[in-house]
Amino acid sequence: MADGVYPAPGALVRAGEMARLFVIETEDATDALVEVLSVFAVQQVVIVTADFTRGEGGAGRLRVEAGRLSGERAEQVTERLRAAPVVRAVSIGWREV
């Protein structure tokens, strides 16, 4: 980051790399979003995009696209997410950029 200008999302994932996609379903908890995002922060994951939706009954769904994350590291993050008390389920996928 230079002078407060953030790189475009495409710059966070280089051509030929995999972007990891996480879909996390959360309990109805006011701190669910913060708790889940803190897992990514502690693991120093580069988040390209994130989208949170609260559904009926208050449960949440967070979709996160992460760049510069190997398959092994993605599995570590997935394990930590699944261990979080507010997390109901985690799905992971990828796409080549």
pLDDT at 1: 44
- Give the structural domain span for 50: 27-96
Q: Is residue 17 part of a domain?
A: no
Q: How many CB atoms lie within 10 A of CB 85?
A: 9
For the domain that residue 47 is a member of, what is the CATH number?
A: 3.30.70
Task: pLDDT band for 17, please (50, 70, 90 cuts).
Answer: confident
Q: Is residue 34 part of a domain?
A: yes
Q: Is residue 67 part of a domain?
A: yes
Location of structure tokens 């996480």:
22
Greater pLDDT, 73 or 3: 73
Greater pLDDT, 12 or 23: 23
Total count of domains within the chain: 1
Q: Which residues contact 31 (CB under 8 A, 6 or more apart)?
A: 86
Asked if 21 and 92 touch (Cβ cutoff 8 Å), the reply is yes
Per-residue pLDDT reduced to its tens digit, 77-89: 999 999 999 999 9
